[in-house]
Structure 1
């Protein structure tokens, strides 16, 4: 069985007051999920925007991955058919 799909991903980064926020939006065509991640630069640390971007995006990806696993597990539960012996036939 062959299957091809295209999922669209959009990544948004926002930085303000030494805090970087990432929003990662996934559109599978049948489902839309959004992951969020935040990174903060400590006052004593050198402000390197690239590090904040990397951490915020990684955390948004982790959040999105967890949501995707939950969706997959839910889909698996819905698709499982009960063993016929478990059904109450009223007999």
Structure 2
């Protein structure tokens, strides 16, 4: 069964006196989620706005992703499926240290 959808994400960046704030808004057509992130420049550091943008945007998107996984977990549980592992991670990448040690 093929399934194709397009979700739109809008990313807003605001900078004021060494602080960059980001807001990422995901619209799935049925749900809207908003993630937030911020980056603070040390006054001793050189002013490079792109770095603040990257950090704040990355943090906002990370927040958005965390929320989206939470929505999916609640939906899974709402379908009568057992609770998923709270800290489930994708199959790719490094395993969590606790799993390596059998905790």
TM-score range, shorter chain: 0.7 to 0.9
Between Structure 1 and Structure 2, which shows a larger proportion of helix residues? 1
Equivalents in 1 of 2:21, 2:71: separation in Å? 24
For structure 1, the 5+ residue unaligned runs are: 83-91
Equivalents in 1 of 2:21, 2:29: separation in Å? 25
Summarize the Cα distance change of 1:73–1:47 in structure 2 as closer, same or farther, 3 Å threshold.
same
Q: How far apart are residue 81 of structure 1 and its match? A: 5.8
1:66 and 2:66 correspond: yes
For structure 2, the 5+ residue unaligned runs are: 83-103
TM-score, length-normalised on structure 1? 0.86
TM-score, length-normalised on structure 2? 0.77
Flag as ranges the 4+ runs of structure 1 deviating above 6 A: none
The structure that has the greater radius of gyration is 1
- In the alignment of these two chains, the number of paired residues is 82
Q: Which protein, 1 or 2, shows the higher relative CO under an 8 Å CA cutoff with sep ≥ 6?
A: 1
